[in-house]
Chains A and B, each alone.
Chain A
């Protein structure tokens, strides 16, 4: 199967503006999406999907900055507010109306916290975006994962905090994989352990790490694939598999990767 390769060009807002073009969506990539080695692959997968679907979108590129979610939850309200004001100012200058993101923390902060600072954007998580296209028949995922079992780890900021439980599950099922649930799922799902600033620091003294407790939930249902929809969860689940020496025969994948792979992009 010698496929011809096509270069993926990710449109950047500043250049688009210079050309007098307007995107339908702004994709907020997030710091993890731009910098985390593992999670960059999710950004790349999502970029491929957007290219495949001819979506008129743009990213901020070098102009993007931290949403401030971590700063706020770690208690640095001053820094959070400065980030929020700067980001909102930039987005307003570009006349952005719709923002799409793969990061539930960005989703939550933009949707619920930025309006206090004058933001009026529609915010969409990529699970909602993908399902919408599937439902409209514009995106028809391949059945690449038929015969595979997939468990879904609910990110706190997507599920419990924003009640988005069904969209990711439907996206997973669309790839032919068999969805199996952990005992603690949906609003009862255990945190991966990385929110609220934990991602960046040593855990406090205790008996075990939270991600190990969660990966044990995962392994108890013995899935082929662990699907998730959040950069932190991705990192923690991946670390969990490594800790349990299971990274050989199990994989963690974001929804965007499942879809991109099912389309053989």
Chain B
């Protein structure tokens, strides 16, 4: 009974603290722009199955991607066991879901195998992070905290797996005289537990049980403050993926209105005057609150794996642009400005995402090749945000590099990025000769 009460108190505490952290982040979405609409449900479910559950994009790096997929699939299976542990903890029962029979056995058996596989994968990940100098784990945007975050999360996951195997092994040793299901790994570990008397075995089992569930609760509450928030955000983010083709840049409706007025004089008279109360919005993105809600969701989802940056042509050739940094910066800026902005919508700290976080030099280095977006295992779309920030620079400040301003002028004046007369567009066709058609 005491165990139940203690467990319920810890559980409630976990949920309350988590809900607090989660809602604190969620309220920032109020500040973001864009309509939230879930359409094309079938397509979204397809993408979620493919990209999230089958981990299709992570396999673009086949070996390390496979290890990640194992961890993900393992988590899905082991989650079943964690749910059981919560039920057991509340009700004081033991292995309460075992009445599910074969299904239960399958979950437990695969969970037991996955625990070992995940533990091995995590050791590989830790080794890569601590001992190998892997380029995509470096970068100006990766502060000491990001690296500590990663190592802490990996260590917790490792301990979760060790305690799971410890729990299963002690359980098997405890009930060695009866059939309790198949535990392919723990079967080999159980005999290694030297204790024989049921009391000691029981203590070992209980300790592992508490360590495991305690770590689950602790982990859940660290996540909202870490880049590993990814664990919660990635599936929703994939489900809410941008569905437009990769190469489509979204049309700015605000500009469309203006252009239509400019090009159609009749529309100018027809324009209703009562719209004047409309708040004058800023063109493009200068600060966190100008971004689309999906940009911000992307930033919460990013776990800073750096696949985007590792394939970026600008980054590979030593330029300052790092697509990962753009989203790390957005999340940090929202965390800084968001709380103040919620209190006072005119809050101004004389800083902005543009320039104080992301330099113009970074934005202008992008070739819009979309390698980053193609690579991101969670369908984060970097070019859309980069172009939106360029839009602010061009439309609000006319602050494009001089050569690009010349391109704009040329297109306006003579319909080509170069300074050639439209009359000359046909020059290439003059005096053009070919060998006479051979008889077909």
A contact residues vs B (CB 8 Å cutoff): 3-10, 12, 29, 31, 33-35, 40, 43-44, 47-48, 51-52, 59, 61-66, 68, 70-79, 81-83, 85, 108, 111-113, 116-117, 156-157, 160-162, 187-188, 190-191, 193-210, 212-214, 264-265
Do B251 and A73 have beta carbons less than 8 Å apart? no
> How many inter-chain contacts with C-beta < 8 Å in the A-B complex?
240
Chain B residues contacting A199 (CB-CB under 8 Å) are 417
Closest 9 CB pairs of A and B: A207-B318, A75-B390, A65-B415, A196-B368, A191-B369, A206-B318, A75-B394, A161-B247, A201-B403
Q: Which of B60, B370, B411 has the most CB of A within 10 A?
A: B411
Q: Which of B403-432 contact A (CB under 8 A)?
A: 403-404, 406-408, 411-412, 415-418, 420, 422-429, 432
CB of B67 closer than 8 Å to a CB of A: no
B321: interface (CB < 8 Å) = yes
Nearest to A39 among chain B residues (CB) is B428
Q: Mark B314-347, 1 if CB is under 8 A from A, else 0.
A: 1011111100000000000000000000000000
| Residues A8 and B433 in contact in the complex (CB < 8 Å), given A62-B426, A77-B395 | yes
Complex formed: what's the CA distance from A74 to B249 in Å? 11
B415 to A74, Cβ gap below 8 A?
no
The answer on a CB contact under 8 Å between B403 and A202 is yes
A212 and B313 CA atoms in complex are apart in Å by 11
> Given that A68-B411, A70-B407 are contacting pairs, would A75 and B418 also be in contact in the complex, using a CB cutoff of 8 Å?
no
Of the candidates B318, B394, B415, the one whose C-beta lies within 8 Å of that of A64 is: B415
Given contacts A161-B245, A162-B247, A198-B367, contact A71 B408 (CB under 8 A): yes
B68 at the interface (CB under 8 A from A): no
Kindly state whether residue B374 has any CB partner on chain A within 8 Å. Answer: yes
- Beyond A190-B313, A197-B404, whether A31 also contacts B361 by CB under 8 A is no
Given A205-B320, A206-B319, A265-B435, answer yes or no on A112-B244 (Cβ-Cβ < 8 Å).
yes
Known: A73-B249, A112-B247, A265-B435. A204 touches B365 (CB 8 A): yes
- Which residue of the partner chain, among B256, B284, B412, B434, contacts A81 with CB atoms under 8 Å? B256
What is the CA–CA distance of A117 and B400 in the complex, to the nearest angstrom?
25
Distance of A41 from chain B, by nearest CB (Å): 9
Beyond A85-B263, A206-B318, A264-B435, whether A200 also contacts B407 by CB under 8 A is yes
Task: Produce 1/0 per residue, B249-278, CB < 8 A to A.
Answer: 101100110110011000000000000000
B436 at the interface (CB under 8 A from A): yes
Residues of B within 8 A of A79 (CB): 408, 411-412
A48-B434 contact in complex given A76-B400, A156-B367, A161-B245, C-beta closer than 8 Å: yes
Q: How far is the CB of B320 from chain A (nearest CB, A)?
A: 7
Q: Which residues of B contact A4 (CB under 8 A)?
A: 435-436
Cβ contact of A12, chosen from B416, B426, B438, cutoff 8 A: B426
Q: Is B248 an interface residue (CB 8 A)?
A: yes
Question: Can you offer 29 A-B residue contacts whose CB atoms are under 8 A?
Answer: A3-B435, A5-B433, A5-B434, A9-B429, A10-B426, A34-B416, A34-B420, A34-B427, A44-B428, A48-B432, A48-B434, A52-B434, A65-B416, A66-B417, A72-B249, A72-B387, A78-B258, A113-B248, A156-B369, A161-B247, A191-B371, A197-B404, A204-B364, A205-B318, A207-B317, A207-B318, A210-B314, A264-B438, A265-B435
Judge if B391 is at the interface, Cβ distance under 8 Å: yes
Interface residues of B (CB under 8 A from A): 60, 244-249, 251-252, 255-256, 258-259, 262-263, 283-284, 311, 313-314, 316-321, 361-362, 364-371, 374, 387, 390-395, 400-401, 403-404, 406-408, 411-412, 415-418, 420, 422-429, 432-438
Give Cα A83–Cα B249 distance, bound, in whole angstroms: 15
Residues of A contacting B429 with CB < 8 Å? 8-10, 44, 47, 59, 61
For B425, give the chain A residue with the smallest CB separation. A34
CA distance A113 to B424 in the complex (A): 27
From A78, A156, A193, contact of B259 by CB (8 A): A78
Q: Give complex CA distance A62, B430 in Å.
A: 13
Q: Whole-angstrom distance from the CB of B409 to the nearest CB of chain A?
A: 10
* Closest chain A CB from B286 CB (angstroms): 12
CB contacts (< 8 Å) of A48 on chain B: these are 432, 434
Contact yes or no, A162 B411, CB < 8 A: no
State whether A78 touches B395 (Cβ < 8 A). yes
Contact A210 B255 (CB under 8 A): no
Known A76-B394, A113-B248: A187·B321 in contact at CB below 8 Å: no
A104 to B400, CA, bound (A): 24
Contact of A35 (CB < 8 Å), options: B262, B361, B418, B438: B418
A237 to chain B, nearest CB (A): 14
**Residues A203 and B395 in contact in the complex (CB < 8 Å), given A5-B433, A61-B426, A112-B247:** no
